[in-house]
Amino acid sequence: MDNKINFYIVSDSVGDTANQLAEAVAAQFPRLTPRYLRYPFIQTQAKLYEALDAAKENDGIVINTFATGNLGKDATEYAQAHGIACFDVFSPIVDAISEQHQEAPSGVAGSVHDLNDDYFDRISAIEFAVTYDDGKDPKGFLKADIVLLGVSRTSKTPLSLFLANKNLKVANLPLVPKAKIPDEIYEVDPSKIIGLTTDPQVLMEFRRQRMIAYGLNPDTTYSARTQVLEELDFASKLYAKLGCMVINTAHRSIEETATLIMEHMGLDVFDK
């Protein structure tokens, strides 16, 4: 039996909402391999049916989010008539709220991306995370809301970008034994610094898999236990010296780690 799940993300906007739901569902089936095929900015019935037909040919599961016109209803009716697994995750909620509050929906696709101050703040935070990723410019540590420290493969970059989507400016620094720590790090308020660590075995396997993904020999100094232990010990001593919060990311998702950081910073996790 094919172990792939084919998710067809169909939307009149970019489809981020449907894609995030598909990823959450796929996480419940770790032994299956998800494929996400996006059909964004669909405005016509013809384009909608084209996407649905493609899903049928590949035993796909369609997740759609339509805010404009009757495309959500069209998708449901077409899918039922042709035996396609199709889920409208937008219209039922909008309809319920509209009926309950006697308020008509805006009908604007991708309204969540309105060009308001919050949107521009988020874009600015993302640009900041990219600019000051991997310690590219030590000056960024003094401008950041949060500074992440950690050895290689402790999720610094993806965590920085996740927090940036919460409008937080994040800079991160990879820690390497014997490498000089930028002076700016010692000038940052310790409450803004988060030290990331992990379990040695988890880090070793993570690094081995990364080397395999690159088509390289997985058994190198990079993934050797002695090297991993040395790096983690170096990081631990630095964290103690700085007096910063330390989080073990070994068995935590990016979302869980981000929640711990925001709570530590006194930020409302649901406010961003």
pLDDT tens digit sequence for 199-234: 999 999 988 888 888 888 888 888 899 999 999 999
**Is CATH 3.40.50 the classification given to domain 4-113?**
yes
Q: Do domains 4-113 and 117-264 have the same CATH topology?
A: yes
Yes or no: domain 117-264 corresponds to CATH 3.40.50: yes
Place of tokens 């067809």: 8
Whether the per-residue pLDDT at 134 is higher than 70: the answer is: yes
| pLDDT-based confidence at residue 69 (cuts at 50, 70, 90) | confident
Task: Tell me: pLDDT of 82 over 90.
Answer: yes
Residue 115 has pLDDT above 80, yes or no: no
To the question of pTM greater than 0.85 for the whole model, the response is: no
- Looking at residues 117-141, what average pLDDT do you find? 90
Strand, coil or helix: what is 172?
strand
pLDDT in tens, 229-265: 999 999 999 999 999 999 999 989 999 999 999 999 9
**Looking at residue 196, what is its pLDDT?**
98
- Alpha carbons 141 and 269: distance in angstroms, whole number: 23
Residue 112: is its pLDDT beyond 70? Answer: no
142-162 average pLDDT score: 95
State the average pLDDT over residues 108-124: 68
Query: In the chain, what are the domain boundaries?
Result: 4-113, 117-264
Q: How far is CA 219 from CA 208, 211, 213, 224, 233, in A?
A: 7, 8, 13, 7, 21
Could you tell me how far CA 32 lies from the centroid of its own chain? Answer: 20
β-partners of residue 33 are 4
